Structure 1
């Protein structure tokens, strides 16, 4: 396998500490920042089969309470708010972070007001993002946070992540600092945030970004249970003694490597168009795992086209000093996208991933979940029922296929 000749050292950035209104300022220096959770954003739009997500029309005088699962813990937290796909400025009137109790309620005493340059509000320009000041909040690895964001004025369509396998919450008025769940109703999508960093212990030396489609994102996993394959990988890494890493999920349901899905912005921009934002700017990124391409095959892209896309992703990762691991595309025999021509493309792409030597390592997801007597189909125990998306057990098998020593090699 190709070895990188040089790996860029992660810079430690000294952040100013700002006193927040709820005794939640960043405290003494210590630890270092790593991405612990992220969600790849898409443009706000109406989704025909998910009308309860309000991102298409936007919010006004409402608070969204996002529920996020941390892959790593630490002594402090900071949050990235986003207007990446907005066409006009959005003012954040208040925001907070807390440890989740039951549903929309916080664990008592954990609500922390978020500030931005010492202010409780911030205006996000169209296409912009903002990083909150750090707050002191001890959070455990594999724990769940509530990130609440209040918008006082009408926003128009909101940047969001629509397919979450996670129940979130929405309330009228500014309830960003409320410790209770009173007034909150259900909401299926993450809105206005796309990242949470933690001030981690030394053993969490950086983050691993999983770049993919619905199989990485959420599809067919049990809701509110955090059973995506990157979640299982985070559990493996957290249980490992010594040096380890956090895991960032940069999966997008329906996403393609090569092209957008015209008229359907909720599938996101292609992987080749989101590398900088969704992968390279993640805090402390040290490695990338790529497992994408099944949607390109479903749109009848050829093996040569998909491989060329992979080569460009590899080149850009290496230009950033990052090792990148190629994941084979999981089987889809018996699914709605199966044709003889598409299976031939799948075989050719996976053969290249396994044998080309262009990746820094290979994760053979396909073999991990394939039926013993048919490598072109998911094993029944790992099949969600659509013969395309692995179920919870399949996602765990995928995570178990990752070679941790190779992933953690410096």
Structure 2
């Protein structure tokens, strides 16, 4: 874009801020008062492409009469915004009395005029059964890339287990009662570092656009990156994709869970058991980026290399059967972490050799090579160390994202990228 055009674009965006997300002059939205049945899972292009996502887990007990204002950051822009609400880990139905979405201005306050009601089958309320998910109806208007949305939920009735994402690395807000329609922050005083019920946002970008889903653990989840600054490595990757002049993958879904393992369900469901829900079910996902294994290795007892490799092969086969590419990442060094030992290091090296040289993946990103110290390759480089010798800091997160060959995220280019690495 010419330099002289940028100020005009920014001015136009500011002028249209009240139309973003909802579209000006689009007519009335159905306002039914009875709960709508849950929407079916996405099966077609009408569900667009995922622009934000987080992995669902069981994170506590559900509460009636509570409101949640959840702040999330988009990757790809587009029209027809939908949100996906999850009761995947609930053992009782949950009824959402009102759901709104707007643009965040600062804190819990929204850009004036941007907050709009979402409907579900034309109704204001929706009940999601235990284990279920629901998509909202599409919202007219355009959602910009790299914007912070505030999705406000009012839980009218709930009980039992609560579904959400514990470690958001993002401040959101809660309240008592239904204040979802309010753009002011006056009634949104309670802060939280988790997301509740919301596990995906989708938009309709330009034709041919796809997304990548990062399946990972606490490093992908962003631990040791700066809270509220979107400095997880998938965030840096989304910014690279937005700047790229080539390629059609622009959406990024962060499907990391702190402590997660490939093989066993502690904590949360294993990568093997959550692949379908957290990754393959997301609209527009073209590529699975697999970066997991360190928690399996340092567990007691730890996984063997052969066990972890077998888990990788199963994930690859299932993703390929669903028509997805799979990019594999080597496991980063972690010497200095309390659970490191020479036996685990030997497993890490053997698994990394499989990732690099087996040809099982469509492409490879070598995070081990990027993050390790040249003076002790079993340790993370001090400049990238978040302080615990396992999790990278902001600089390390950016270095990881910078190491990804953007061509590898598109199935049409992945095989040639693999050949170059090998």
CA distance in 2, matches of 1:229, 1:115: 33
The 5 Å alignment of 1:182-193 reads 182-184=186-188, 185-193=190-198
CA distance in 1, matches of 2:150, 2:118: 12
CA contact (8 A) 1:19 1:118 kept: no
CA distance in 1, matches of 2:54, 2:237: 16
Q: Which residue of 1 aligns with 2:341?
A: 339
Q: Which residue of 1 aligns with 2:265?
A: 260
Q: Deviations over 1:261-296 (max 9, x none)?
A: 2xxxxx310000001101111111111110000000
Displacement, 1:21? 6.2
Q: Which moved more, 1:189-198 or 1:136-145?
A: 136-145
What value does the CA root-mean-square deviation take over the aligned residues?
Answer: 1.7
Q: Deviations over 1:96-133 (max 9, x none)?
A: 11111111111111111010000000000000010000
Local SS of the residue matching 1:288: strand
Q: Which residue of 1 aligns with 2:367?
A: 365
CA distance in 2, matches of 1:405, 1:312: 24
Displacement, 1:409? 4.3
Displacement, 1:373? 1.7
Local SS of the residue matching 1:273: helix
Local SS of the residue matching 2:379: strand
CA contact (8 A) 1:331 1:375 kept: yes
Local SS of the residue matching 1:254: coil
Displacement, 1:408? 2.5
Q: Which residue of 2 aligns with 1:171?
A: 175
Q: Deviations over 1:150-204 (max 9, x none)?
A: 012343321010001100100111011111111112111100110000121236x
1:137 matches 2:146? no
Q: Which residue of 2 aligns with 1:279?
A: 279
Q: Which residue of 1 aligns with 2:10?
A: none
Q: Which of 29, 32, 48 lines up with 1:20 in the alignment?
A: 29
Displacement, 1:243? 3.5
Local SS of the residue matching 1:158: strand
CA distance in 1, matches of 2:109, 2:207: 31
CA distance in 1, matches of 2:264, 2:200: 25
Displacement, 1:137? 3.4
1:200 matches 2:218? no
The 5 Å alignment of 1:67-146 reads 67-146=71-150
Query: Which segments of structure 1 move beyond 4 Å, counting only runs of 4 or more?
Result: none
TM-score, L = length of structure 2 = 0.85
Displacement, 1:323? 1.0
TM-score, L = length of structure 1 = 0.87
CA distance in 2, matches of 1:292, 1:273: 14
Local SS of the residue matching 1:289: strand
CA distance in 1, matches of 2:91, 2:252: 31
CA distance in 1, matches of 2:152, 2:58: 20
CA distance in 1, matches of 2:339, 2:28: 54
Q: Which residue of 2 aligns with 1:6?
A: none
Local SS of the residue matching 1:375: coil
Q: Which residue of 1 aligns with 2:219?
A: 215
Local SS of the residue matching 2:151: strand
CA contact (8 A) 1:324 1:361 kept: yes
Q: Which of 363, 382, 385 lines up with 2:384 in the alignment?
A: 382
Local SS of the residue matching 1:378: coil
CA contact (8 A) 1:331 1:370 kept: yes
Q: Which residue of 1 aligns with 2:6?
A: none
Q: Deviations over 1:47-105 (max 9, x none)?
A: xxxxxxxxx23222111111101111112311001110000111110101111111111
CA contact (8 A) 2:288 2:325 kept: yes
CA distance in 1, matches of 2:259, 2:129: 28
Q: Which of 30, 51, 55 lines up with 1:40 in the alignment?
A: 55
CA contact (8 A) 1:209 1:279 kept: yes
CA distance in 2, matches of 1:243, 1:290: 20
CA contact (8 A) 1:287 1:407 kept: yes
